[in-house]
Amino acid sequence: MQRLAFAYIRRSSYKQQDNNSVEIQKQHIKEFAKRNGLIVPDEFIFIEDVTSAFTKRANKRKQLMMMGKKMLEMNVSVVIFNDISRMDRTGYSFAIDFYRPMLEKIPNLQVFTVDSNEPIDFENTNIKLNFLLFNHESEVKSVRAIGNLTAVLEQETRIRPGSKVPYGYCQIEKQLHPNEDAEVVNFIYFLASWGTSFKRIATFLDEARIPAPNGGTWNSSTIENILNNPVYSGNLIWQVPKRKEGQKQFVFEDTHKPIITDFVSQLQIYNRHLQGIYGRLDTPFLFLNKITCRHCKQGLITQNGSTKRNGTVYNYQYYVCKNCNYKVNTNEVHEKLIPLMLKKVYELVSSTEIQQQSKNFVLQMILETEGQIESLENKVGIFSRKLLQAKELNDRLLESQISSAIKQYKHSLEELNSCHTSLVRLNNSLKSDQFFSRFENILKFDLGDIEKRLIILYFIDSVILATDQQPTVQFKSNIFGDFLISKNG
């Protein structure tokens, strides 16, 4: 009787996507299974795509851990790998993170590679040496790769180092040029700039039958990767975190034609920041974390008692003050406040005086931030000189304290420089009227709940509510105050 077996395939990098690495490993595994009376159904083959076993321990590889879970659920004791290097390149993490925990639950566990009909003995000295050799080989490759990459990045000519070409671009003579998919990227950023979630954007694209970068369906992580990639603003940013000395981040601005504006990129980051402060955007409670009780001054919580009977949904949603023991139907609040809010926002964005005040505020904040940056840079310089003195005195304690202070100042500088970049981009968008023009037609269109929610977060400071008085809407005195809070924006 043939036994069931699982199989694990790992492809290390994007470069291997064009060399049939997965197909070759799968073929070898199937042939091995046939020779040894084993059956490996396709659904029992777990593929870890573009994952390094040198930079990721075994317990950080999702497909490997998922395979182990399925083996336990189905009580299957056999697993096949193409070779030992597919298991591990960290030294011995596969045995520690996967094999030994599995062996405790499946005592008859057998791990095979296709080049031997005998299961692997992880206590065998030769096996341990093989793992160490693979680890050393990966370290040598890593050092060599880092050296080649930094050599390209440090040269004066703007040549893009070899890597996967971003979706929406084609590459001609190592220069990026927008292709026919650029419109899809633009659409993704547009939806994100109005608060649409990653999952909903993916659903829209699938419903429109637009293929994902891999030719299949879209998922949230693909949308997130596109939205987090600075390449679409015309800039290249390369991180070399493993480099032990020297510059670890390389920024090249205006290296190619952008697909989206800096402002749109900035706006979707800011939207996520607002979501982190005030809660989800895709919610029926449009004033979530924005409503305060007039009597007790406490924020109102939400209550969703909706139900479904005979296929019909009955919505029972409320804003609740626990201290004063009352609740207000969300529809009642929304129907009363949303039209007033939209009208007021339209007036605000149409006012030349408000627009000029906003521009003046942002310019003032740019100047203040530049002053803070200069002050911190001076402190870093002073403390760096003090550090040299501490080293000359061989005062280890003082050296440690000064080094800690310098590290803290540099971290603050990083935050301030990020904030300054955000303000400069915001100032440019105000000059070109990109921000206020977004809201010129809000009274003409039937806005969705996410769009209404986002406008509330942009313009409203709070809503004061009570059962015995009319609600009061307090608009923000500074529309862009929250822009300064976001480290990444």
pLDDT in tens, 265-294: 878 878 888 888 899 999 999 999 999 999
**Answer CATH for 352-432 from 1.10.3470, 1.10.287, 3.30.450, 1.25.40:** 1.10.287
**Answer CATH for 3-138 from 3.40.50.300, 3.60.110.10, 3.40.50.1390, 3.40.140.10:** 3.40.50.1390
Most confident among 119-123, 379-383, 433-437 (mean pLDDT): 379-383
- Assess whether the region 155-260 and the region 352-432 belong to the same CATH fold: no
Residue 80 has pLDDT above 60, yes or no: yes
Confidence of residue 484 (pLDDT cuts 50, 70, 90): low
| Cα distances (Å, whole numbers) of residue 265 to 235, 366, 408 | 12, 19, 29
Task: Find, among 56, 84, 74, the residue nearest to 6 by Cα.
Answer: 74
Cα–Cα distance for residue pair 455/17, rounded to 1 Å:
43
Task: Find, among 32, 106, 38, the residue nearest to 71 by Cα.
Answer: 106
Least confident range of 128-132, 150-154, 269-273? 150-154
Cα–Cα distance for residue pair 86/217, rounded to 1 Å:
27
Confidence of residue 171 (pLDDT cuts 50, 70, 90): confident
Q: What is the mean pLDDT of residues 384-402?
A: 90
Architecture of domain 155-260: Alpha-Beta Complex (3.90)
CB–CB of 48/63 below 8 Å? yes
What pLDDT was estimated at residue 251? 64
What pLDDT was estimated at residue 243? 47
Give pTM, 2 decimals: 0.61
Q: What is the DSSP string of 452-469?
A: HHHHHHHHEEEEEE-SSS
With a pLDDT cut of 90, the percent of the chain lying above it is: 42
Residue 143 has pLDDT above 70, yes or no: no
CB–CB of 450/271 below 8 Å? no
CB–CB of 50/14 below 8 Å? yes
Cα–Cα distance for residue pair 74/156, rounded to 1 Å:
57
Q: Cβ contacts of residue 41 below 8 Å, gap of 6+?
A: 4
| Cα distances (Å, whole numbers) of residue 468 to 101, 136, 293, 294 | 63, 74, 11, 10
Give Rg (Cα) of the chain.
29
Residue 489 CB neighbours (<10 A)? 24
Q: Domain locations in the chain?
A: 3-138, 155-260, 291-351+438-484, 352-432
Q: What is the mean pLDDT of residues 371-380?
A: 93
Q: Which residue has the tokens 């800011």?
A: 270
What pLDDT was estimated at residue 210? 94
